[in-house]
Chain A
């Protein structure tokens, strides 16, 4: 991990002296389920994110993986306050974003940006590429029109697009090119944190590598910190420094990438990793897949105790009674499982 330069006086350090850029504690996001025609009342809630805590260090890439519907995208959006959390705190550069609103929150958005999954939906089809990339600057009143135009040209060049493209419209570009436009837009304000919500899963495999390499180059050049949401496990191992595995709104395991892939401790992580093919015929033949039975329970009505107990191959009695907490079992490696201690 590149050692980041300390600059902000509000910087927080953890025990190892690493600078914490983003500190998420007990984050919950419940979506209400409403019923009724005119007088609506809440009949329940979908617990999309249910008590998630993690730190993101400056300059690193934290991966957030899990199957569809486990709440990883919701976590990303709640961190950015695109959804307001039900509970918990999101400390970014020492400021609790949950307590901010209106103009103060709007000003903080300069420091944190997002890259979206679907490059076909994330660009306004009625705006030219130049206007799309310049929009963050316009919204925050930065620079004169000439300076903005210059910055747009620079950004286009930086993400590997022809600066002549400023007057073109999104529909004239391929998926990979559009994703580059989305990246240029996210970079326009020089943010410190970028939440990348499955930025490559909508792209062709041949384009994925290009975009991932671009993201890594930009990270080095601008000292960016990524919260990288994905479900492609081999890609995550390639680009993430640490990985958090989510299941049904909770983090079940959090560890440095290599540690997680070599020594998965949670039964869910083990099952997940057993699905990754190994590019070595000898090892691949020996690979044992752990097939989980059943489906993910409804997040509106999660099981009592450990929420993985309905599918866990090794569950014991206490798993159906007590909820396991995420605890550190070796330096940097945390697991939420009763059977690991």
Chain B
């Protein structure tokens, strides 16, 4: 008798304790968007390559991106050519994607270049989210005169054309780095940090300076609308402090659209980094970066050697596209109004 009723009650219990978390629902929704899943996979693949680049080099899959091969009889090699490698007692080294004008392996440079692009994308987005979300939430939550003052300042910054400011500031920082011996001790420390990061440090500062304003506006708007909801009032009626209301009640409920914009902005940052490197004011020249590689291609007859421009642009295009697909999938997944529950 007990055996007969047991499976039935077990089945009911499982149903009652089955939990559908908001995050689990979002993941189920996200999986339905094929392109977003493909984008996520490509990004994970690229991040793995970029992080594991040194390991891949140690097992002989990648080359040192700075090593200039001695290729007799030609200035640069097209894809799928092989040459002698004197560093390894003359076994062959094959250039899958060819070489550039200084006879450096293109595939290695493209993958090491992903390190620059991805770190600029992720850190740039992290900086802009951190500043933008806290700025926007403070303005939106406290409201009144504080909000008015803070948002007028944002309006002022919004009027500055950002790419032009990026260029001016990068030129300024490059000049600062070139004049290291003549600047003050504080600036010298900054220049040293920047050199050790291959020119990335100043790039982060420049990008972080203006990029947060869009996020701040969005965060403020979301905070304003969420603040009106009854559960915020309920939290206050319970006796919750401001800090708890902001972090436990407001933030998780406005995070969805912010994450979408954050992921989209990663693609934007990668584009800006490529632009600046292409113009020669991005990362310092020996450090491989996609924008720098495109600039190199321009200086050569790339009609004869299309791989010079194809390799970096295809990498750039796939990466940017992946981030946009990912953002698109996240928007559907994180917006509860689009979900069937």
The residues of A with any CB-CB pair to B shorter than 8 Å are: 38, 40, 77, 80, 82, 106-107, 109-110, 113-114, 116-118, 121-128, 135-136, 139-140, 162, 164-165, 167-169, 171-172, 182, 185, 189
The reply to whether A122 and B234 form a contact with Cβ atoms under 8 Å apart is yes
Instruction: Tell me the bound Cα distance from A168 to B15 in angstroms.
Output: 11
The reply to whether A169 and B20 form a contact with Cβ atoms under 8 Å apart is yes
Selected A-B contacts with CB under 8 Å, 10 pairs: A40-B148, A107-B239, A109-B239, A121-B229, A124-B248, A126-B252, A128-B19, A140-B239, A168-B19, A169-B21
Nearest CB in chain A: distance from B247 CB, A: 12
Nearest CB in chain B: distance from A13 CB, A: 28
Residues on A with beta carbons closer than 8 Å to the beta carbon of B16: 162, 164-165
Nearest CB in chain A: distance from B144 CB, A: 9
Residues on A with beta carbons closer than 8 Å to the beta carbon of B253: 124-126
The reply to whether A122 and B230 form a contact with Cβ atoms under 8 Å apart is yes
The reply to whether B230 and A38 form a contact with Cβ atoms under 8 Å apart is no
The reply to whether B233 and A116 form a contact with Cβ atoms under 8 Å apart is yes
Residue of B nearest to A195 (CB): B237
Q: Is B9's beta carbon under 8 Å from chain A? A: no
The reply to whether A113 and B238 form a contact with Cβ atoms under 8 Å apart is yes
The reply to whether B233 and A136 form a contact with Cβ atoms under 8 Å apart is no
The reply to whether A169 and B22 form a contact with Cβ atoms under 8 Å apart is yes
Instruction: Tell me the bound Cα distance from A45 to B233 in angstroms.
Output: 23
The reply to whether A116 and B234 form a contact with Cβ atoms under 8 Å apart is yes
The reply to whether B240 and A135 form a contact with Cβ atoms under 8 Å apart is yes
Residue of A nearest to B253 (CB): A126
Contact status of A82 and B237, CB under 8 A, knowing A121-B231, A122-B230, A169-B22: yes
Nearest CB in chain B: distance from A143 CB, A: 15
Closest A-B pairs by Cβ, 3 of them? A109-B239, A122-B230, A121-B230
* B232-259 near A? 1/0 per residue, CB < 8 Å: 0111111111001000110011000000
The reply to whether B336 and A125 form a contact with Cβ atoms under 8 Å apart is yes
* B316-341 near A? 1/0 per residue, CB < 8 Å: 00000000000000000000100001
Name 6 extra pairs, CB < 8 A, besides A106-B241, A110-B239, A125-B22.
A40-B148, A113-B237, A116-B230, A168-B19, A169-B20, A172-B20
Instruction: Tell me the bound Cα distance from A271 to B229 in angstroms.
Output: 34
Nearest CB in chain B: distance from A284 CB, A: 37
Instruction: Tell me the bound Cα distance from A268 to B152 in angstroms.
Output: 48
Number of interface residues of B (CB under 8 A): 28
Contact status of A114 and B235, CB under 8 A, knowing A126-B252, A165-B16, A169-B21: no
Residue among B16, B21, B237, B336 with most chain A CB within 10 A: B237
Residues on A with beta carbons closer than 8 Å to the beta carbon of B238: 109, 113, 135-136, 139, 185, 189
* B248-278 near A? 1/0 per residue, CB < 8 Å: 1100110000000000000000000000000
Instruction: Tell me the bound Cα distance from A38 to B152 in angstroms.
Output: 9
Instruction: Tell me the bound Cα distance from A121 to B16 in angstroms.
Output: 24
Instruction: Tell me the bound Cα distance from A135 to B240 in angstroms.
Output: 9
* B175-206 near A? 1/0 per residue, CB < 8 Å: 00000000000000000000000000000000
Q: Is B17's beta carbon under 8 Å from chain A? A: yes
The reply to whether A124 and B244 form a contact with Cβ atoms under 8 Å apart is no
Residues on A with beta carbons closer than 8 Å to the beta carbon of B252: 124, 126
The reply to whether A106 and B20 form a contact with Cβ atoms under 8 Å apart is no
Contact status of A171 and B341, CB under 8 A, knowing A126-B253, A140-B239: yes
Nearest CB in chain A: distance from B256 CB, A: 10
Residue among A121, A122, A126, A171 with most chain B CB within 10 A: A126
Nearest CB in chain A: distance from B61 CB, A: 44
Partner of B237, one of A38, A109, A125, A172: A109
Residue of B nearest to A136 (CB): B238
Residues on B with beta carbons closer than 8 Å to the beta carbon of A164: 13, 16-17
Instruction: Tell me the bound Cα distance from A122 to B231 in angstroms.
Output: 4
Nearest CB in chain A: distance from B27 CB, A: 14
Instruction: Tell me the bound Cα distance from A121 to B229 in angstroms.
Output: 6
Residues on B with beta carbons closer than 8 Å to the beta carbon of A165: 16
Partner of A136, one of B17, B21, B148, B239: B239
Residues on A with beta carbons closer than 8 Å to the beta carbon of B17: 164, 167
Nearest CB in chain A: distance from B90 CB, A: 63
Residue of A nearest to B236 (CB): A82
Instruction: Tell me the bound Cα distance from A139 to B248 in angstroms.
Output: 11
Instruction: Tell me the bound Cα distance from A123 to B237 in angstroms.
Output: 13
Nearest CB in chain B: distance from A109 CB, A: 4
The reply to whether A106 and B234 form a contact with Cβ atoms under 8 Å apart is no
Residues on B with beta carbons closer than 8 Å to the beta carbon of A121: 229-231
Residue of B nearest to A37 (CB): B148
The reply to whether B20 and A80 form a contact with Cβ atoms under 8 Å apart is no
The reply to whether A135 and B237 form a contact with Cβ atoms under 8 Å apart is no
Nearest CB in chain B: distance from A126 CB, A: 4
The reply to whether B19 and A114 form a contact with Cβ atoms under 8 Å apart is no
Residues on B with beta carbons closer than 8 Å to the beta carbon of A38: 148, 152
* B203-236 near A? 1/0 per residue, CB < 8 Å: 0000000000000000000000000011101111
Residue of A nearest to B17 (CB): A164
Instruction: Tell me the bound Cα distance from A140 to B248 in angstroms.
Output: 15
Nearest CB in chain A: distance from B149 CB, A: 9
Nearest CB in chain A: distance from B252 CB, A: 4
Nearest CB in chain B: distance from A165 CB, A: 7
Instruction: Tell me the bound Cα distance from A122 to B233 in angstroms.
Output: 8
The reply to whether A139 and B336 form a contact with Cβ atoms under 8 Å apart is no
Residues on B with beta carbons closer than 8 Å to the beta carbon of A114: 233-234, 237
Residue among B230, B252, B253 with most chain A CB within 10 A: B230
Instruction: Tell me the bound Cα distance from A183 to B116 in angstroms.
Output: 54
Nearest CB in chain B: distance from A186 CB, A: 8
Instruction: Tell me the bound Cα distance from A182 to B238 in angstroms.
Output: 11
The reply to whether A168 and B148 form a contact with Cβ atoms under 8 Å apart is no
Residues on B with beta carbons closer than 8 Å to the beta carbon of A82: 233, 236-237
Instruction: Tell me the bound Cα distance from A77 to B16 in angstroms.
Output: 36
Residue of B nearest to A124 (CB): B231
Instruction: Tell me the bound Cα distance from A109 to B239 in angstroms.
Output: 6
The reply to whether A167 and B230 form a contact with Cβ atoms under 8 Å apart is no
Nearest CB in chain A: distance from B336 CB, A: 7
Instruction: Tell me the bound Cα distance from A189 to B21 in angstroms.
Output: 27
The reply to whether B231 and A135 form a contact with Cβ atoms under 8 Å apart is no
Residues on A with beta carbons closer than 8 Å to the beta carbon of B229: 121
